[in-house]
Amino acid sequence: MLNYIIRRLLYAIPILIGVNLLTFLLFFVVNTPDDMARMQLGARRVTPEAVEKWKAERGYDLPLVWNSREESLFGKAGRTIFTQKSAKLFVFDFGYSEDKRDIASEIRERMWPSLALAVPVFLVGLAVCITFALLMAFFRATYLDLWGVVLCVAMMSVSTLFYIIGGQYIASKTWHLVPISGYAGGLDAARFLVLPVVIGVISGIGSSSRWYRTLFLEEMGRDYVRTARAKGLAETVVLFRHVLKNAMIPILTGAVVVIPLLFLGSLLSESFFGIPGLGSYTIDAIQSQDYAVVRAMVFLGSVFYIVGLIFTDISYTLVDPRIRLE
């Protein structure tokens, strides 16, 4: 297994270079270094000299990907914005944002509010969706199953934004049960997180439950389930001890891969609920054309995704003894 993990980690290097290059190209197709300088310096009384100075200070006065003024090949490829800005990422040196804030300390600070929201949504959501899907599977072909599926399809069709605005309107504005938005550290965070967590869970029920239901029904049609029932096992035992265990492989595929991404937070929820996490950090960076932060967050996202996929592979071996990572 160790060899497999090392091989996968080595594969990650060209993937990360590719992701970096793609981010770089997409960003600089839309924004030039001049645009970035003007965005950071403000719209008023910005002189061309100030723009040049800003670019020179941050290394944006270099060519984008190829420096023809350099003599050596190393210089031509190395003395460019792309190489100078990307190389340090591979040792997780994120540098400074364009407004001179240390990105690593921002990430360390903002990761916790993101996790405080994302982890409960993930865990509670998983539990609720599995339970709901099991219920539908248990009562298959009854009115409960039919209306459950209808409810799932309806819930899938509604935008997350609607859940957020509706939730804030009902729970906070009309019933006055929780704060509309905001965040606090420590245990006080709980009262700010109740509503976004509930909304996060509810908004995910439709699609996940429907998918899990399909998985459970597929398993319930198999011979070993019939055998278990023929032995006289209670239906709950059949469901929880046999069906659930065997349906876990595809569920794990979807669930484990997102665990590392929980660090990156939720773009929409964090904005609407005023949670100072990494999701809103990324949105702010895109809006303010802060390439340093965008680059760092995309890189981090890619790393987490790769790690998530490796975790998924490992988790297969844990739930299915037939699978070996060679």
Partner 1 sequence: MRVLLLTLASQFLLLAGCGEVWNDPYPAAERGGNILYSVFGERPKHLDPAQSYASDEAVFTRQVYEPPLQYHYLKRPYELIPLTAAEIPQPRLVEKGGATYSVYDIRIRPGIRFQPHPGFVAGNLRLDPQKIKALKSPYDLAQGTRELVADDYIYQIKRLAHPRLHSPIFGLMAEYIVGLKEYGERLKAADKPDQWLDLRAHDLEGVTRVDAYTYRVTLKGRYPQFVYWLAMPFFAPMPWEADSFFSQPGMAEKNFSLDWWPVGTGPFMLSENNPNARMVLARNPNFRGEPYPSEGAPGDAERGLLADAGKAMPFVDKAVYTREKEAIPLWNKFLQGYYDLSGIGSDTFDQAVRISLEGEAGLSPEMEARGIRLDTTIAPTVFYLGVNWLDPVVGGNSERARKLRHALAIAVDWEEYLSIFANGRGVPSHSPLAPGIFGYREGKESVNPVTHEWKDGKAQRRPIEAAKKLLAEAGYPDGRDAKTGQPLVLYLDSTSRGPGDKAVMDWWRKQFAKIAVQFEPRQTDWNRFQEKLRKGSTQLFMVGWSADYPDPENFMFLLHGAQSRVKTQGENAANYVNPEFDALFERMRNMPNGPERQHIIDRMNEIFRRDAPWIGGFHPKNFALFHSWLGNAKVNEISDNKLKYLKVDAAGREALRRQWNRPKVWPLLVLFLAIVVSIVPAITTYRRRERMAARPVS
Site for partner 1, rule CB under 8 A: 30-32, 35, 38-50, 53-54, 57, 96, 99-102, 105-106, 109-110, 135, 138-139, 142, 144, 165, 168-169, 172-184, 188, 191-192, 234-235, 271-274, 276, 280-281, 284, 288-289
Per-position b or e across 170-189, b if 16+ CB within 10 A of its CB:
ebeeeeeebbbbebeeeeeb
Q: Is 105 exposed, middle or buried (0-12, 13-18, 19+ CB in 10 A)?
A: exposed
Nearest residue to 182 (alpha-carbon basis) of 281, 276, 274: 274
Q: Where are the alpha helices (DSSP H) in the chain?
A: 2-30, 33-41, 48-58, 73-78, 81-86, 103-138, 143-157, 160-167, 189-220, 223-230, 235-237, 244-256, 267-273, 278-287, 291-319
Nearer Cβ to partner 1, position 14 or 42? 42
Residues ≥6 apart with Cβ < 8 Å to 55:
33, 34, 37, 61
Cβ 96 to partner 1 shortest distance, Å:
8
Q: Is 290 exposed, middle or buried (0-12, 13-18, 19+ CB in 10 A)?
A: buried
Cβ 296 to partner 1 shortest distance, Å:
15
Cβ 32 to partner 1 shortest distance, Å:
7
Cβ 118 to partner 1 shortest distance, Å:
16
Nearer Cβ to partner 1, position 278 or 306? 278
Nearest residue to 114 (alpha-carbon basis) of 257, 289, 252, 271: 271
Nearer Cβ to partner 1, position 67 or 172? 172
Cβ 151 to partner 1 shortest distance, Å:
11
Cβ 98 to partner 1 shortest distance, Å:
9
Nearer Cβ to partner 1, position 146 or 318? 146
Nearer Cβ to partner 1, position 145 or 218? 145
Euclidean distance between the first and final Cα of the chain, in Å?
A: 6
Cβ 34 to partner 1 shortest distance, Å:
8
Cα–Cα distance measured from residue 59 to residue 145, given in angstroms and rounded to the nearest whole number: 61
Nearer Cβ to partner 1, position 40 or 208? 40
Nearer Cβ to partner 1, position 68 or 287? 287
